[in-house]
Structure 1
Amino acid sequence: MAKESLDPFVEYVKSLKTHLPIKPHKVCFVLGNESCDLDSTISSLSLAYFLNKTNTNQNLVLPLLNVLENEFPLRTENIYVLNKCDIKENYLIYKDTINLNELKQDKELEIILVDHHVLSKHFEFLKNNVKRIFDHRPLDPKANWDKDIIDMRTVGSCTTLIANEILKNDISALSPTVAKCLYETIIFDTIGLKEDAGKVKQLDLEISHKLESHLKIKSNPAKLFDELWSAHIDISKLSPKQLLAKDLKILNNVLIPGLPMLVKKYLNQTEVLKHIRDFCDERQCDHIILMGLDAQGTEVKRDIAFYSICQTSKLLSDIIKILKDYKDLEMKEECCDVDDIRYFRHNLKISRKQIMPKIQEVLEKLN
């Protein structure tokens, strides 16, 4: 009996490391953001696959995950979605397994950014190599990109933009597995297409319906979201410190971890302040803003807490003030049992993506 052939997307991902070290003179990397969440991961993999399959000049296109290899398993929902597709984490290329600085000197290097449009300090040297950008967060006023290279729209998931790019240009390149990964990520990012959660937009709905039709499925978005959220909050093997690294974003000297639970619940763990301090020390950062999300059941809840190594930090006070003045956030302070931490509830429809530009405003005033 003939062996069943693999889905071409899975074949492509399984072959990624066969291209290392890089041999072609010209190579393009699709780079997600440093939180390396499900959206960034699937956006990078699916767009790189699509471009590699459809480019006419035979240039090599590879996805690059913007995280250390040993930290990727902390993204439990990423592992869950990829393992369902028979994709193992050791197939992938991580930022500490390749030296882009060296490649920039030796090769004709192109970069495509997905799920972000501001390069982290680690990759600032690549600015002149960026040729395209797909992102769904508010435009940073300091981002000085040519408008012709940016596809930036307010949608719930960057994978919506990637799926739209594929559907618009060559639907034959949409393999069943890449379509499934894109679809599941849209469902996860929009909290099951739930409008009252404040994340889903019209294009998310349109693209998710097109993917359902392409896959010939009648999906239950709420049920699928619950399945993916269960994988996301499966923290049974993670320490309190690892939880902080699971979905981490960094602005200057401020750590902004997204937690798969409410901050209030996280703060109930034993010696939690020691874990927070150690986490800050390891990354040589003085300030941390914890953002929690509980999407179980019918009601979505969010909260936020602030801590500084310097207990009388003016920076943190300024950040709290600007967020209190952000009326849509509706931030309300509550008592906290952990010393030196200020804790707030806020409007469930305002996510970290919308809060970060406000924090950036404060940081820019200091420069």
Structure 2
Amino acid sequence: MDELLLTSRAAAQTGFHGNQRVHVVLGSESCDLDSVASSLAMAYFLSRTSSGLPGRSLVLPVLNIPRSQFHLRADILLLLMEAGIATETLVFRDQVDLACLHSNRRLDLTLVDHNVLPSTDRDLEGAVAEVIDHHRLERTASFSCPVTVETVASCATLVTERILSRAPEILDRQLALLLYGVMVVDCVVGKVTVKDGHMIHLLQTQFPDLPQRGALHNALHTAKFDLSGFTTEEILLNNMKTVAGGDVRVAVSIVYMSLDWFLQRKNLQQELRDFCQSHRLDAVVAMTISFNDQSDEPVRQVAVYSSNLLYGQEISHALFKSCSPALCLSPATSPYKDILSYHQGNALASRRAVLPVLTHFLSDWWQREMHCGADGEDLDDQFNQSDVMISDTFSVNKESADLSDAGWLPHVYSACRHHRRRLQFGAEDYGSVEEDYGGRMMPPPPMNSLVDGCPLDGGFNQEALLEKFSRMGGGEEEQVGRGN
């Protein structure tokens, strides 16, 4: 593997000169232990088999985060060190221009540990050549893009199966330790499958000097949960994925500490606000994981932050009403009104299960906003045309008319537009519907522009009106009598 990494690193540094195709193996944007190991192992497999098109394509494993964030992955650094892989030989996302390679028709993509590209990478969809993943299937398989998706504890299990079934001769101790370490960590109670256990057994049988499972698990687990010295931004970036619906972006981060410790962080509210601004996010969902001395079961809790209270409430409501899976949330104490906190009763519901819930919610919400927004924009556009019709009797050209009096145009209120402005500015900052009308619940009824006043303003003669009704009734009876 060392030769592969050195070659790919050198090619990335020179900008991939020439016309050679580049086959990138790309892990998920969380860049966790499973994603990194699966990317490296799958790239090595492709480079050593006909699948990698030797002589025509350069196979390149790419870690899907900026290099500046890699120091946050203490568990990955530990496993790479144990496997003898130098971090200086790795290639990161900010060191490769995938969009440029794709535009030049030189890019092939193999996705591992995820099966759909995030919205920011949707332009690369045409380059996807294969998918290997263990999450819920969100794409359709095709002849041009075979998809291997199976619900196992880790993607490394599927990559190990691929190597052992198609090219077992390339498996050495370095590669085995990389895959073995991931499966040891991910195969916890409630997640391990028969295939996971079988792959671990095969690796242990072939390489009996692999570290003892319990010792390796504890070492990697301790490294992952050691967040001492990290800022709030670094903690959130440590294991983060984003979901989006339209122009609404939400980060979902796994935080390896208890909710109480997270909420007690100094200047947490300001740091969350700065984090959203710097990463162009509308909300953050922090899924905390901790352990207690009484049980090996993880303690899961959730914190939802948004500077816009409506966003936070809507996201929380979507998580509350989720049935597949049911998170079994119950309110927890929070010292901040814009950080909504919950205990999660279902400890088996990981982020893998929560992401589709939020993706579906944001998609539906955006569709409603688009439909609602179109109606509001249509109303707004009525007064953006060159001619404005007044009372259906004559038109005034805005270029020639005297618009010094802004009150000459009737006010058109769009509930959808008001809702969008409340989302933008916040419900408390923007105000209520009544404030749009100076305290009135509804706009005033229109005046008749063809008369100076109302005929009823001077009163009316009740007896004369009753007499007129009587004559009208008599006339109708007379007409009926003539008809008979």
Same topology, TM > 0.5: yes
State yes or no: 1:214 paired with 2:211.
Answer: no
Question: Using a 3 Å threshold, how does the CA distance of structure 1 residues 296 and 43 change in structure 2: closer, same or farther?
Answer: farther
Distance of 1:289 and 1:266 partners within structure 2: 13
Post-superposition Cα deviations, 1:174-210, rounded to whole Å, max 9, x if no partner, equal 12111101000111122xxx32xx2211111111111
Gaps of 5+ in 2: 368-484
State yes or no: 1:286 paired with 2:278.
Answer: no
Question: Using a 3 Å threshold, how does the CA distance of structure 1 residues 267 and 304 change in structure 2: closer, same or farther?
Answer: same
* Amino acid in structure 2 at the alignment position of 1:285: L
State yes or no: 1:22 paired with 2:22.
Answer: no
TM-score normalised per structure 2 = 0.69
Name the structure 1 match of 2:171. Answer: 174
What RMSD in Å do the two structures reach over aligned CA positions? 2.0
Name the structure 1 match of 2:360. Answer: 361
* Amino acid in structure 2 at the alignment position of 1:160: T
SS of equivalent to 1:96: helix
Question: Using a 3 Å threshold, how does the CA distance of structure 1 residues 175 and 230 change in structure 2: closer, same or farther?
Answer: same
Distance of 2:348 and 2:260 partners within structure 1: 18
Name the structure 2 match of 1:6. Answer: none
SS of equivalent to 1:258: strand
Gaps of 5+ in 1: 1-8
SS of equivalent to 1:146: coil
Distance of 1:230 and 1:186 partners within structure 2: 16
Q: 1:133–1:151: 8 Å Cα contact kept in structure 2?
A: yes
TM-score normalised per structure 1 = 0.90
State yes or no: 1:202 paired with 2:194.
Answer: yes
SS of equivalent to 1:79: helix
Post-superposition Cα deviations, 1:84-115, rounded to whole Å, max 9, x if no partner, equal 22323321111111111221233532100000
Q: Equivalent of 2:183, from 186, 191, 204?
A: 186
Q: 1:226–1:296: 8 Å Cα contact kept in structure 2?
A: no
Name the structure 2 match of 1:48. Answer: 43
Name the structure 2 match of 1:277. Answer: 273
SS of equivalent to 1:300: strand
State yes or no: 1:266 paired with 2:262.
Answer: yes
Higher RCO, Cα 8 Å, sep 6+: 1
Q: 2:307–2:338: 8 Å Cα contact kept in structure 1?
A: no
- Superposition pairs for residues 238-257 of structure 1, below 5 Å? 238-252=230-244, 253-257=249-253
Shift of 1:171: 0.8
Shift of 1:42: 0.7
SS of equivalent to 2:265: coil
Name the structure 1 match of 2:220. Answer: 228
Q: 2:22–2:107: 8 Å Cα contact kept in structure 1?
A: yes
Q: Equivalent of 2:133, from 128, 132, 135?
A: 135
Q: Which has the larger radius of gyration?
A: 2
Question: Using a 3 Å threshold, how does the CA distance of structure 1 residues 234 and 178 change in structure 2: closer, same or farther?
Answer: same
Q: 1:43–1:114: 8 Å Cα contact kept in structure 2?
A: yes
Post-superposition Cα deviations, 1:27-65, rounded to whole Å, max 9, x if no partner, equal 210001111111111110110011101227413211011
Q: 1:244–1:257: 8 Å Cα contact kept in structure 2?
A: yes
Question: Using a 3 Å threshold, how does the CA distance of structure 1 residues 304 and 317 change in structure 2: closer, same or farther?
Answer: closer
Distance of 2:111 and 2:317 partners within structure 1: 31
Q: Equivalent of 2:113, from 95, 112, 115?
A: 115
Name the structure 2 match of 1:101. Answer: 99
Q: 1:254–1:286: 8 Å Cα contact kept in structure 2?
A: yes
Question: Using a 3 Å threshold, how does the CA distance of structure 1 residues 321 and 235 change in structure 2: closer, same or farther?
Answer: closer
Q: Percent identity?
A: 27
- Superposition pairs for residues 340-359 of structure 1, below 5 Å? 340-346=338-344, 347-359=346-358
Distance of 2:334 and 2:41 partners within structure 1: 43
SS of equivalent to 1:299: strand
Aligned residue pairs, count:
351
Question: Using a 3 Å threshold, how does the CA distance of structure 1 residues 353 and 129 change in structure 2: closer, same or farther?
Answer: same
Distance of 1:41 and 1:146 partners within structure 2: 26
SS of equivalent to 1:254: strand
* Amino acid in structure 1 at the alignment position of 2:107: L
Q: 2:319–2:327: 8 Å Cα contact kept in structure 1?
A: no
Distance of 1:41 and 1:161 partners within structure 2: 14
Distance of 2:68 and 2:257 partners within structure 1: 23
Distance of 1:273 and 1:99 partners within structure 2: 35
SS of equivalent to 1:139: coil
Distance of 2:58 and 2:210 partners within structure 1: 36
SS of equivalent to 2:95: coil
Shift of 1:287: 1.0
